Amino acid sequence: MKIALAQLNYHVGNFESNTAKIIDHIKKARGNGADLVVFSELCICGYPSRDFLEFSEFIELCESSAQKIAAECKDIACIIGLPTPNHRPEGKELNNSAYFIEGGKVKAIANKALLPNYDIFDEYRYFEPATEFNCIEFKGHRIALTICEDLWNTIENPLYITRPMDILIQQQPDVMINIAASPFAYNHDEERIAILSDNAKRYHLPLLYVNHVGAQTELIFDGGSLVFDNTGKLIDELPYFEEQVAYYELDKNSNITFNHQSTLKAERQSDIEQIHQGIILGIRDYFYKSGFKQAILGLSGGIDSAVVCALAVEALGPKNVMAVLLPSRFSSDHSIKDAEDLVKNLGCLHETIAIKDITEAFETTLKPQFKDLPFNIAEENIQSRSRAVLLMAMCNKFGYILLNTSNKSEAAVGYGTLYGDMCGGISVIGDVYKTQVFELARHINREREIIPENSIIKPPSAELRPDQKDTDSLPEYDILDKIIAEYVEHRCSSAEIIKMGYDEKTVRRVIRLVNLAEHKRYQTPPILRVSPKAFGMGRRMPIVGKYLS
């Protein structure tokens, strides 16, 4: 039996595009002699569809799309993912399903049993877990078909009380197929391989796994579809962050061979390489799927905006990126020159708009209210908000989308101006720590100097007052980032972090800042998720909570 794995980029709710793409790849697979082509979880509607799933018409469109696809499967079979009505009176209204289509008809349906309800996942909000499992007979083979999380209950501390494969294995399948929508995090590829390899080893069966690729707002799907033999050995791994179709032969003894050049690599990509590729895909898909083409950002000459500008140019092309220099009376000459050198290196569009007169007009207007109080954060934030007003005006006039340039360290402790430098349509590096931003800059410069060296080596500063440095307000970033990671990503308490050897006063101050900044993060743009725990939909904290404050 010849099996094709189709690792494709879908668009949530774009039934016409998704259906056409699936049908096109069915035709190509048929032309290449495939007996079965496998698509990923909820490929018909895209993942995550969120509350679109609560619209009956949305579910009806999923089914009508599936029937159009079935009509193309006269002499080839396919597996597709879609939400389907739960016809039992008990439980949620929907199932997360996989259709096995053969001979123009749906011959079998597998429903997902293990519904993740943690971090960014919210599947139990919509779906009823399956309780019945049956293998599928096709071409002399018995297929154990599961959906994503159904194979993730093999760790030492299981999240669920059942394993679908424990039931399916009793029916003596000779191959496992798993369709997935597994989002990207820079450490997730190794975890994914370990979990799936354990399944192949546990059940002594070969395993074919196909994943989504592409970004859906803040979630990035990295592809990396996998194939294992019945010993758990990884025998093939599809490319990351790009579409790919691969073909495999399953013989009568359940041995798998592939009919293409393997992309399996001896060394895994570094975290920074993965973050770089993930963000490029995230920017590109955010614009393409939103129907926008051009981005704008404020360019300060600092490392954060320089990295975002370079990433945007790589993702969208230099003619689709407008970098606006917005110097104030506190902007240093070298920062302006660094920004000018960057746009020269990138070849992107740029403008310079000085904000000195604008901020002085605000200060003059507010003089009766401010009286003779000394210059403080109020005047600093007027500068940041003036820049935001100008950038958003250009968005309205020319149809740009504003890129937010705040990093994860700043977002964590609230080191940014609400309605100022924290505004934007999408946050590009909001899940990248400041220390990682430096690594990202070096990676971008790996072949030639794109980001000026001075932007990388100079002490970080918001330049909102004379001689300002980030370290005036924050601990050094190499300490700050580690404390934030322990609290946010590893969910350690202040007491636990202090026991690790960090200064108690610093730990308590950082955690207090993180908690106090929650109201700011509720009002910021979606953040492209690249870590195991990003700010946004995967971290839900109360704004007025007292714990650890």
Residues serving a catalytic function are 41, 112, 148
What is the residue-wise DSSP string for 294-311? -EEEEE-SSHHHHHHHHH
SS3 content of the chain, % helix, strand, coil (to 5): 40, 20, 40
| Residue 469: HSE in the Cβ half-sphere, 13 Å Cα cutoff | 7
Q: What are phi and psi of 318, to 5 degrees?
A: -60, -30
Alpha carbons 149 and 540: distance in angstroms, whole number: 22
488: which DSSP letter?
I
What 3-state class would DSSP assign to 333? helix
536: which DSSP letter?
B
Alpha carbons 416 and 517: distance in angstroms, whole number: 10
What 3-state class would DSSP assign to 410? helix
Give 293's contacts (C-beta < 8 A, 6+ positions apart). 287, 316, 320
| Residue 132: HSE in the Cβ half-sphere, 13 Å Cα cutoff | 4
Q: What are phi and psi of 199, to 5 degrees?
A: -65, -50
Alpha carbons 228 and 201: distance in angstroms, whole number: 9
Give 458's contacts (C-beta < 8 A, 6+ positions apart). 334
Give 303's contacts (C-beta < 8 A, 6+ positions apart). 437, 438, 441, 451, 455, 456, 460
- For residue 417, give Cα distances in angstroms to 34, 360, 406, 464, 517: 56, 18, 10, 11, 11
- For residue 122, give Cα distances in angstroms to 126, 178, 238, 370: 8, 20, 27, 48
**CA end-to-end distance (rounded Å), the chain:** 60
CB contact at 8 A, 173 and 142 = yes
Sign, CA dihedral 363-368-369-370, equals: positive
Pick from 339, 350, 355, 426: nearest CA to 390: 355
Pick from 136, 87, 128, 83: nearest CA to 108: 136
Pick from 324, 314, 308: nearest CA to 427: 308
